[in-house]
Amino acid sequence: MTETVTKKPPLAGIRVIELARVLAGPWAGQMLADLGADVIKVENPDGGDDTRQWGPPFVEGADGENLSAAYYHAANRGKRSVTADLKSAEGQDLVRRLVSTADVVIENFKLGGLVKYGLDYDSLRKVNPKLVYCSITGFGQNGPYASLAGYDYIVQGMSGFMSITGEPGGQPMKAGVAIADIFTGIYAVAAIEAALIHALKSGEGQLVDMALLDVQSAVLANQNMNYLVSGEAPTRLGNAHPNISPYEVVPTADGYLILAVGNDGQFRRLCTILGLETIASDERFATNKARVGNRGEVRRLVSTETLKWQKADLLKACEENAVPSGAINTIEEMFAHPQVQARGLRIDLADAAGTVIPGVRTPVVLSETPLRYIRPSPRLGEHQAEILAELAEREKGIVVKKASS
């Protein structure tokens, strides 16, 4: 065993109580678990996280047991599960006991949804003043939409993302995965870690206010700036890029590939490959600015020539001449790709019963404090007895300490 493997992950010793379900909150919790935190997922005893039922496909145990939908396993690796009915005094008390031992709470109830249970930030900070309390909602803690439920699909539309996604003149399109939820989960991890650093330095916790609409709007990046600088709202360009040309999908004799020509030198080399040397110095195409202004003609000229090539041959020629290009893989082809396999993106974890459950690691590699992958997603309430015993032992120790003092 190497020294690196024996080192503790960066968040070892941090405890997170996850009062979240579906995707954004659990995605944040899973990433924190991979980084070494002890993440305790608190679920409704009546079915647990909604995504446990969001199938098919479902993960099947060795004995044929339904171990929840694949969707659930995408966002809950590495956690421990307990159940608590938040509507009951007993369930609320269990959460408060857990919070007294924790550093972080993650919740994604509607605005004010936990106040009636006494599990909102203002209530729980009295239990634990150092608590970092991350609240994930559709629209944040203030504003005219704050009280409304927020869904990823709707936020993709409201944020402007769908207005720039899809073919010109066609339907606005959503992304193939719930990117508002996933980006919010990732941003939440960054915010939680910043708040933890503050808490460890000052002893002061705080509320982390995460909103799907904030995040999805913010990540429009250059398209936001294109609008703010020009005053013109970007439109759908299909697979083309608003600021670079040719930077799009092109046809070949046996399929499609991506050309990502980011500068004039790359364009000249592409022209050489395609036998278009004469246009490389043409003032209509010699610079990226000119090519963007004449993108339709660039597309016509380039596509006419790429259609004469086999996909594999053109990809090889581009690679050999330092012209950025790429295949359009299926997910199956992605997992089979030698680079993806070399990076160990797929992981397989066995549960307590020996069922091996596949997954995808968090795409972070740390040289000195490696992430940990110790358990797959838990069964509903799997760790109830274990965690209750830990709480009882801790509370017993507190009583003994007070008595001795």
Amino acid code (one letter) for 299? R
3-class SS of residue 404: helix
CA dist list (Å): 386 to 20, 52, 226:
21, 22, 54
In DSSP terms, 43 is beta-bridged to 83
**Could you check whether the bond before residue 234 is cis, i.e. omega within 30 degrees of 0?**
no
- Using the 8-state DSSP alphabet, how is residue 110 labeled? S
Task: Determine whether 380 is exposed, middle or buried from the number of CB atoms within 10 Å of its CB (0-12, 13-18, 19+).
Answer: buried
Distance CA 379, CA 309 (A): 51
Residue 122 is among the residues annotated as catalytic for this protein: no
Reading phi first (left if > 0) and then psi (alpha if -120 to 50, else beta), residue 183 is in: alpha
Q: What is the 3-state secondary structure (H, E, C) of 359-387?
A: EECCCCCCCCCCCCCCCCCCCCCCCHHHH
102-126 b/e (C-beta count within 10 Å ≥ 16 → b): bbbbbbbbebebbeebbbbbeebbe
Query: Is the four-CA dihedral 19, 23, 26, 32 of positive or negative sign?
Result: negative
Distance separating alpha carbons of residues 331 and 248, to the nearest angstrom: 20
HSE (side-chain half, CA atoms, 13 Å) at 355: 17
Catalytic residue among 181, 209, 348, 351: 181
Q: Could you give the residue numbers annotated as active site?
A: 181
